[in-house]
Amino acid sequence: MQESKPIWELTESEFTERLLPAVLAIKQELFEKGLPVSYIDTTCCESEFHFVNEYADGSKHLIHFNIYTRKESVVRVLNG
């Protein structure tokens, strides 16, 4: 099994080839479930992303998603 490396160490071609299709598919799945995504935080390791939805009151939903296990956990972060 290939060792996961931080996303910031991936070349553009590695990211495009290996991860972008999966990330976009997950974003679409979340949208269809009624969970729109404001932005995607890619500071985790290669296989994990935070899909973030920001609300007008400043609170956020962070959807921590592992693209290989397809496990997600949702955290609501309140502003202040």
Confidence class for position 1, pLDDT limits 50, 70, 90: very low
For residue 64, what pLDDT is reported?
A: 78
Placement of tokens 């080839």 in the chain: 17
Is pTM beyond 0.85 here?
no
| SS3 label, residue 13 | helix
Rounded Cα–Cα distance for residues 32 and 19 (Å)? 20
More confident: 80 or 15: 15
34-63 per-position pLDDT tens digit: 878 888 877 666 667 778 888 888 888 777
For residue 75, what pLDDT is reported?
A: 63
Q: DSSP strand E in the chain: where?
A: 39-41, 48-54, 60-66, 71-77
8 Å CB contact between 40 and 50: yes
Mean pLDDT, to the nearest integer, of 56-72? 75
